[in-house]
Amino acid sequence: MERSFEYHGKKILIKLGDIIYETTDAIVCPTNSYGRMRGGVGAAIRLAGGDVIEEEAMKRSPIQIGSAVVTTAGKLKTRYVIHAPTMTLPVERATKENVRKAVRAALRTARMYRLQSISIPGMGTGTGWLPYEDAAAIMLEEVKAELDSKDCSLNMVVLVSHSREFFYILVTAAEKTLRN
């Protein structure tokens, strides 16, 4: 299940799926400041890609909220994992502000690495317990702002939903955000 949007000649793809199967240049891991990948999306990425991903992230910790670090992707099909914390401690509740800072940091990091494509899961929606509507609105606002940037290198942003409910909420948020 997927829905595609075009914004300033760039593609935003919203899809129902699993971030570990993405083949974009990078996937985003909504981690904690210590780079521990033992719950939620982080655990799935570590289990599929290997412990090396977590080991590299932990070597670069602490990762401040609003910052991001890049690691290799181990056995995953993507080239990089961008670790953008939505919380300081593992399994802490994510705030809207932290999710905004994390998405912005991940997109800024993609620009610094001159990446063409990136896949982003539901930031803060798993172990962070942020409501889907809040996460979707923030994610689309930040993606739009990045694509509006004259320095943006991205040609495609994939928003990967782990549930049908979040998929439909993302689509609705995209329809609203991208028409303005």
Q: Count other C-beta atoms under 10 Å from residue 171's C-beta.
A: 18
Architecture label for domain 2-177: 3-Layer(aba) Sandwich (3.40)
Q: Which residues contact 159 (CB under 8 A, 6 or more apart)?
A: 12, 13, 14, 15, 119, 120, 139, 140, 143, 170, 174
Is residue 159 within 8 A of residue 22, CB to CB? The reply is no
Q: Residue-wise pLDDT tens for the chain (180 aa)?
A: 999 999 999 999 999 999 999 999 999 999 999 999 999 999 999 999 999 999 999 999 999 999 999 999 999 999 999 999 999 998 789 999 999 999 999 999 999 999 999 999 999 998 888 999 999 999 999 999 999 999 999 999 999 999 999 999 999 999 999 986
The gap between the terminal CA atoms of the chain, to the nearest Å, is 25
Q: Which residues contact 161 (CB under 8 A, 6 or more apart)?
A: 14, 15, 16, 17, 121, 122, 167, 170
The structural domains of the chain, with segments of one domain joined by +, span: 2-177
Please tell me the predicted confidence (pLDDT) of residue 21: 98
